[in-house]
Amino acid sequence: MSEDKYVEYPSTSYKEMGRIFGKEQIKLSKITGWVFKIPSKDSILIAYKIEAILKEIFPEILEEIKGIAEETGYEYPVVLANIVLCGSKEYLELKEMCISMAVRSELGYILALNYEQWEELKVFRYFFRRNPISRLPSVSGTDCYIGATDGMNGAGLALTSLKVSDRICGIGISPQLLCRIALDSCESVDEFIDLARKVSHLLQWNFLASDGDRAVKVEVHGGRKLKVIEINDDIFVAGNHFEGQINSPSYKRVKEVYDFLKKRRPRNPEDLIDILGTHEPEICFHGSDNHPPVISSSIYWPAKRRAWIAFGKPCGASFREIYMG
Ligand SMILES: [Zn+2]
């Protein structure tokens, strides 16, 4: 039986959204066995420190967490720790690896992402969130409901994210929560950078962000350390390492993909759909013992408010087009 992994949610309150997620979590946990972990005392202490940051910048997220707790019957601190520490090695490691690219079209930059993740984590979905009127609607990929791995919102801000390390290196917000909060509240690359500068960060991660004419790579080095790299070239490729880390295993892959794109010169989403399914170099990856396969792909064209998403390996997938206007 094939299930639709693209889900549209109504415009509702954050608390009610949490309740909807709670219901889905109960259903899904029976299929996948993926249940909330009972956190240690230390994890709960860290989670409450992160909660204080969220209260400052985006308290609505906490309403969503409360909604999940109410619906699933887990205590609030348990759900809080599971959400805010998700993605960290010490807590729940997400082994994702990915490759993402920014290419210049006739109308601003287009972002594309192949998302690599172990398939046993069957919770991955694309959501269309209408959100309450005061917040922006978005389409986003997620493997933990509340957070987002990538997406584009109604204001035309597109984001992709890539893991560099899952070791906790600061008490701060996770990349998935940063991505989600930015999609709900930021209208431009500038606003995304401001948000990323305002908070401390839990993990080391890379983002590509574009709002049309402008594209940047934002390297989150953990804690308060952030590096913003302006993209001026027609082609930019990012992987699971920071700029200059030439000994990283992803460095070679990124370089090969960059050289390939330079030759192919993609200019539009059709070119990118083709390119995401390429095996030489390894853009579409089918998995090895220590490197997960591509489980989904996304393309975002902020200037046109259009997105293309596909589940499964992109070499054989059909892409669904979504208009965010
Ligand atoms: Zn393939």
117 Cα–ligand 1 center, Å: 14
Residue 266 has pLDDT above 70, yes or no: yes
273 Cα–ligand 1 center, Å: 12
* Residue span of the structural domain in which 50 resides: 6-84
Give the span between the Cα atoms of 50 and 31, in whole angstroms: 30
| Cβ-proximal residues to 263 (8 Å cutoff; 6+ apart), any chain | none
283 Cα–ligand 1 center, Å: 8
User: Within a domain: residue 91?
Assistant: no
What pLDDT shows up at residue 36? 87
Claim to verify: residue 69 and residue 149 sit in the same structural domain: no
Sort strands 6-9 and 125-129 into parallel, antiparallel or unpaired: parallel
Count of domains for the chain: 2
150 Cα–ligand 1 center, Å: 21
72 Cα–ligand 1 center, Å: 38
What does the buried/exposed string (b/e) look like for 286-324 if buried means 16 or more CB atoms within 10 Å of the residue's CB?
eeeeebbbbbbbbbbbbbbbbbbbbbebbbebebeebeb
Distances (CA, A) of 95 to 142, 157, 175, 220, 294: 14, 26, 14, 18, 12
Residue 92 has pLDDT above 60, yes or no: no
Q: What is the pLDDT of residues 185-196, one digit of tens each?
A: 999 999 999 999
What pLDDT shows up at residue 33? 77
279 Cα–ligand 1 center, Å: 6
Claim to verify: residue 66 and residue 214 sit in the same structural domain: no
278 Cα–ligand 1 center, Å: 7
Section 132-144 average pLDDT: 87
114 Cα–ligand 1 center, Å: 11
Query: Domain end: 22, 57, 84, which one?
Result: 84
Confidence of residue 142 (pLDDT cuts 50, 70, 90): confident
Q: At what angle do helices 76-84 and 60-72 cross, to 10 degrees?
A: 120
Claim to verify: residue 159 and residue 128 sit in the same structural domain: yes
Confidence of residue 90 (pLDDT cuts 50, 70, 90): low
User: Within a domain: residue 1?
Assistant: no
